[in-house]
Each structure stands twice: as structure tokens, then as C-alpha cells.
């Protein structure tokens, strides 16, 4: 694909499509294509800031591994999401690890290049702040749900959020390429508990489960389960 094709893909996302056109043009002009094989490390916790990324193909797993080897999966970043903006604001090291999932194609804008652009056009800092504030809202929602919502409602809500690309994708997807192990890790649940809830939803005709895939058959009933 050429850059115009990548642009069309990015325009399917809420954040990029609502940017001023001159900023869209500047970001694309400064961007370079980066490819990752499945499982390849993009950056790890403690690495210096390396800029802003957009996922064009495949996905990126954001998480951390404890000293005991237990992995916490925070997010699976899919097209057309952007990520990496936190370090742009504070200049501090990366907070988590990022790995490619599948054959991954990224758009990368280097930290120094983006900071130069923002120095020349400081009004655009607001657009980057909007990108970060959207994710901060999602974090607060997830923390509230962890404390207050029963497990089936949390799982239903997370499936809906993933289907909607966390507010980026319209209309929502019906089929999620999402292994149950990854969903369990996102929700801090055991794989057994996650599988039990998913099978219950399937028995009610709300979901259809296949290997590495979850199909939302009845989005309205799933949404009703997500309300607590």
C-alpha cells in the first residue's frame, strides 16, 4: 500500500479523522513505515521515548511481565489506533512492553520530529492531549468496573469496547480476533472463569465462539448484560 492507502485506513479512526487537515498532512509527511513480525519487541519498559505510532495492520500487545514471569496484558492495540503519546508529554521512559501480534505494520513518527513540529505549531498540542485524555477516561472506567461490577458484566462491557475499537471504530465489528487467554489477561481473570462466562453467553445465543475468535451475535443483549 502507498501512503494514500494508509491515510484512508487512518481516516476510519475518530482521532485522526477529526484532526485539522494540515496536521494530518504533517504527521503523514513525517511518518515512516515500521514492520514487526509476530512476537517481535517494539519497545520495553524503561526504554527511552521513541515517538508516536499508529497500527495499520496486525496489532500490538501492550503489557508487562512480573519477576515471577506472570504477564499482565493491558491492551491489544489494533488498526487504526495511535499509541505512545504519554512519553511525548513527560519525556520519561516507556511504562510498558510492546510486542507485535501477527504480521504488524506501523506508522512511526520519531519523538524528535514530532516535538519539532509541535514547537513550530504549539496549537497542535491540544490534539495530542485529546488522544491521551481519551485513554485516561478508559482507564478510570476500567478501574471503576474492577471495583464495582460483577465479572460477567465486566466481560460483556470489555467485549463491546473492543468491538467499538474503544470509541475509534464505527460501526462496531461483529467478529473479534481475540484468543480467550488474552481476554482473560486483560480482565485479570483466570482462563477457566473467562471460558465459563463466554460459554454461558454462547448458550444464551449472545456469542458464537471459535478458535481464537469471538463473534457477537446479539449486541443488544450483550449491552444489557454490561449494565450494572
The per-residue pLDDT for range 69-86, each reduced to its tens digit, is 777 888 889 999 999 999
CATH of 149-225, one of 3.10.450.50, 1.10.10.10, 3.40.50.1100, 3.30.70.870: 1.10.10.10
pLDDT higher than 90, residue 123: yes
As a whole number of angstroms, the distance between CA 31 and CA 86 comes to 18
Coil, strand or helix at 30? helix
Residues facing 107 on adjacent strands: 33, 54
Predicted local distance difference test score (pLDDT) of residue 65? 80
pLDDT higher than 90, residue 9: yes
pLDDT higher than 90, residue 222: yes
- Calculate mean pLDDT across residues 220-225: 94
Predicted local distance difference test score (pLDDT) of residue 40? 96
Domain ranges of the chain: 3-137, 149-225
Residues facing 108 on adjacent strands: 32, 53
| 45 contacts 93 by C-beta, under 8 angstroms | yes
Predicted local distance difference test score (pLDDT) of residue 228? 64
Length of the chain: 228
At the fourth CATH level, which superfamily is domain 3-137? Jelly Rolls (2.60.120.10)
Amino acid at each position: 500500500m502507498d501512503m494514500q492507502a494508509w491515510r484512508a485506513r487512518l481516516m476510519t479512526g475518530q482521532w485522526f479523522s477529526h484532526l485539522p487537515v494540515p496536521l494530518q498532512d504533517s504527521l503523514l509527511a513525517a511518518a515512516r513505515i515500521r514492520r514487526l513480525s509476530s512476537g517481535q519487541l517494539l519497545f520495553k519498559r524503561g526504554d527511552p521515548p521513541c515517538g508516536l505510532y499508529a497500527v495499520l495492520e496486525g496489532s500490538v500487545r501492550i503489557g508487562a511481565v512480573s519477576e515471577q514471569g506472570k504477564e499482565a496484558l493491558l491492551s491489544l492495540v489494533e488498526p487504526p489506533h495511535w499509541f505512545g503519546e504519554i512519553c511525548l508529554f513527560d519525556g520519561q521512559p516507556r511504562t510498558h512492553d510492546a510486542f507485535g501480534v501477527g504480521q504488524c505494520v506501523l506508522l512511526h513518527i520519531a519523538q524528535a520530529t514530532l516535538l519539532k513540529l509541535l514547537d513550530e505549531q504549539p496549537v497542535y498540542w491540544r490534539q495530542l492531549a485529546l488522544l491521551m485524555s481519551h485513554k485516561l477516561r478508559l482507564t478510570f472506567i476500567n478501574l471503576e468496573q474492577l471495583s464495582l461490577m460483577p465479572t460477567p458484566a465486566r466481560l460483556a462491557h470489555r467485549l463491546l469496547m473492543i468491538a467499538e475499537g474503544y470509541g475509534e471504530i464505527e460501526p462496531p465489528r461483529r467478529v473479534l480476533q481475540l484468543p480467550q487467554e488474552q481476554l482473560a489477561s486483560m480482565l485479570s481473570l483466570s482462563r477457566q472463569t473467562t471460558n465459563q462466562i463466554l460459554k454461558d453467553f454462547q448458550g444464551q445465543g449472545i456469542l458464537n465462539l471459535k478458535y481464537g475468535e469471538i463473534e457477537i451475535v446479539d449486541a443488544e443483549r450483550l449491552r444489557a448484560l454490561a449494565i450494572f
